[in-house]
Amino acid sequence: MLYFAYASNLNREYMLSRCPHAIPIKKVVLKNYKLVFNQLADIVSEKGQSVLGAIYVISKQELEEIDRLEGYPDFYDRIIIEVEDENGNKYDAFTYTMVEKAVELPPESYYNILLKGYNDWNLSIEPLKEARNIE
């Protein structure tokens, strides 16, 4: 199954420590959503916005493990979304979105894990910076 990572699991070392058999596939974009911080990264529906990320192939056992690690269903909810690669190919994948919505800056250590992940996938860090600039 395809998993869309947009936060700490973009960091390949971090993701593989959680799901050792996950296969990194490619960078993609999730349209009509926006990256925000609710202490941890979250996505919210917002027309015209997009969230950068990547897809991994994971097994059913790894799905169960990542569900547990992400606090599904109490902390994060699992949703099915459609992502698109740079060639316009579309993929159905699952991802997580926080159950309780709020706005709060992330801890520096967590933010650094995200930065490493964005660099791992050669993604622009501008959306990450924008999400962190809470007014």
Cβ pair 97, 74 in contact under 8 A: no
Q: What is the pLDDT of residue 76?
A: 96
pLDDT at residue 135, as a whole number = 52
Q: How far apart are CA 108 and CA 77, in angstroms?
A: 24
Helix (H) or strand (E) holding 15: helix 12-18
DSSP string, 63-132: HHHHHHHTTTTTTEEEEEEEEE-TTS-EEEEEEEEESS---BPPPHHHHHHHHHHHHHTT--SHHHHHHH
Interval 30-83: pLDDT, tens: 999 999 999 999 999 999 999 999 999 999 999 999 999 999 999 999 999 999
pLDDT of 134 above 80: no
Closest to 30 (Cα-Cα) out of 106, 92, 103 = 92
Give the model confidence (pLDDT) of 78-108 as tens digits: 999 999 999 999 999 999 999 999 999 999 9
